Chains A and B, each alone.
Chain A
Amino acid sequence: MVKMTDLPTKGGFSFDLCTRNQMLLDKGVQMPPFRKTGTTIVGLVFQDGVVLGADTRATEGPIVADKNCEKIHFMAPNIYCCGAGTAADTEAVTDMVSSQLQLHRYATGRESRVVTALTLLKSHLFSYQGHVSAALVLGGVDVTGPHLQTVYPHGSTDTLPFATMGSGSLAAMSVFESKYREGLTREEGIELVAEAICAGIFNDLGSGSNVDVCVITKGQTEYLRNYQLPNPRTYISSKGYSFVKGQTVFLEQLLLLVSKLVHVEAIFQLRVDEWQYRINWGLVPCLC
């Protein structure tokens, strides 16, 4: 006799605990706050490609959990994705789609297209009906040209020449609406994106710290990490800190031997994997 528990799981979000969670909430139990990127993320299309921008603050309720996090995620060498919403969700979903895109590249032997990434993201998010809280700005340049798309947590997408997402999106959108025009040069594009992110940093409580910029053009991508640092520490004592020797009592001293540094050749490792893949698939003629 087949019991209910013996049936194979069908996949998708399991709603089994939702009634229990609602009951707990009704009883007054506080759910732990998600770490969110209460954020400002922007993207715009300029004459040669796409510029993406993001702030770098990650929040856990009212606390700043990470002052310099990375919100511009790698999808493909020619496609990057900014993520707003729950940090875990954006990380997981962009990592997952990035892996799927790499497998697709191996299978097709071609450069990834932005619409491929878009469809993968969109179908994943729709099937979770908005519970995967990831709002993304996807931008890239492929054989069909530059593309900029926004993806909402429920799975809808929009194609736009300039886009903003996150809690600071209104502040950033006001900058874009006043200053955007078609056919911007690279310098103008980067400056406008930085200005929009700064508007979010200074006017939105959920965004702050530094500005990250990523410029994608045909054949070349530049990830400018911490392009601007408009929030430096201002409370460093100019005289420096003087700690009197002998003031700290230490209980135990442990001396560790640091052996010689091992330098890892990452590129070599990738080549080995690629060769292994080629051998497995019979793409390398065997020589006697």
Chain B
Amino acid sequence: MENKLSGFGLDPTGVERRTFLEEGESSPKQSLYSLSLSASLYLACFHLLSLKLGFILLLLSIYKMDLDLSAPHSTGTTIIGVTYNGGVVLGADSRTSTGMYVANRASDKITELTDNVYVCRSGSAADTQVISDYVRYFLHQHTIQLGQPATVKVAANLVRLLSYQNKNMLQAGVIVGGWDKYEGGQIYSVPLGGTILRQPFSIGGSGSSYLYGFFDQAWKEDMTHEEAEQLVVKAASLAMARDGASGGVVRTVTINAEGVTRKFYGGDTLPLWHDELEPTNSLLDLLSSSVPEPMST
């Protein structure tokens, strides 16, 4: 395991710090982290990361495309976690983008860490997948050693440790949510930089910028499960309507004392917002259907 960890460059013990960015550029991530600017921070980091790949892009100059298929695979996303009386509801969109191209339009951003704890991932897809794999492995060991299911707090803290101690190398903003018998349903937000913050609800990803005002108005304490689920789906579809980097379908995961329920909301079941059109096969059908009225003098 030692070799595997040092090969990755990730160091959960925090003893050694390895800085990888030695290509004449300072790490953009170090200088920008604060909770309130999480959305613009995510966008800024993404652009700067693209600059780092500049010399590879030079060599691709023949295939000059605005799409930039060699950009790091990222989840420019909308993720939401909400507590209700009895548990939590986690929700996410399903778009994974590489530059301007949608690499996967039906991805699953809500990943299992244990039976009772799930995590919503946003930021670099590679980084968040590796973090989830590590934390799932650690939690499995921890559960065996403890003799009972891990608590959500432990899971969130493991994510936070990896995120904080490798902050120079990672671009990962996650929301950890779950249920345990001591504290019930809990949501922990672990944004870029590795802060951990317990909140009654949390939003993340590039699409979250459009939801701060919505949640200020629509959130209330002690909702029922149905209310919480509807809130999450409505919020996700609002963000998907306005954010280019979010889209596809909405996936939700409900975690409570009874267990885990996964739900899927296809694109056509989501409500349409301002200026959104009904899906049609061709605009020509709309245009040719109405016959122009004769002019009257």
Q: CB within 8 Å of B: which residues of A?
A: 10-12, 15, 18-19, 21-22, 25, 31, 33-34, 38, 61-62, 122-123, 125-127, 129-130, 133, 150, 152-158, 160, 167, 169-170, 205-206
Contacts and interface: CB of A to CB of B under 8 A. Distances in A.
A31 B60 CA distance: 12
B130 A126 contact: yes
A158 B96 CA distance: 9
Contacts of A19: 22-24
Nearest to A204: B63
Contacts of A122: 129-130
Q: Which 7 A-B pairs have the closest CB atoms?
A: A156-B125, A156-B126, A154-B126, A155-B126, A152-B73, A158-B104, A156-B73
Contact of B67 (A11, A22, A152, A170): A170
Interface in B84-141: 96, 98, 101, 103-104, 106-107, 124-126, 129-130
Interface stretch (B6-14, B175-183, B283-291): B6-14
Interface stretch (B51-59, B210-218, B260-268, B269-277): B51-59
A152 B104 CA distance: 12
Given A22-B24, A126-B126, A133 B8 contact: no
Contacts of B101: 169-170
B63 A206 contact: yes
Which of A33, A34, A156: most chain B CB closer than 10 A? A156
Interface of B: 3-4, 6-9, 20, 22-24, 53, 55-56, 58-59, 62-63, 67, 69-70, 72-73, 96, 98, 101, 103-104, 106-107, 124-126, 129-130, 169
B59 A130 contact: no
A205 B129 CA distance: 33
B282 to A, nearest CB: 13
Nearest to A131: B56
A154 to B, nearest CB: 4
Contacts, number: 89
Contacts of A133: 56, 70
10 contacts: A18-B23, A25-B55, A33-B59, A34-B59, A62-B62, A125-B126, A154-B125, A154-B126, A155-B126, A158-B104
Contacts of B20: 15, 129
B125 A167 contact: no
Contact of B7 (A12, A33, A34, A167): A12
A153 B70 contact: yes
Given A152-B73, A158-B107, A167 B63 contact: yes
* Interface SS of A by simple majority: loop
A126 B103 CA distance: 18
A22 to B, nearest CB: 5
Contacts of B22: 15, 18-19
A10 B6 contact: yes
A26 B4 CA distance: 36
A123 B20 CA distance: 17
Nearest to A38: B63
Given A11-B6, A18-B22, 13 more contacts: A15-B20, A19-B23, A31-B59, A123-B130, A130-B72, A152-B73, A153-B70, A154-B126, A155-B129, A156-B129, A158-B103, A167-B63, A169-B101
B129 to A, nearest CB: 5
Given A129-B20, A158-B104, A11 B7 contact: yes
A10 B98 CA distance: 31
Contacts of B124: 154, 156
Nearest to B19: A15
B92 to A, nearest CB: 15
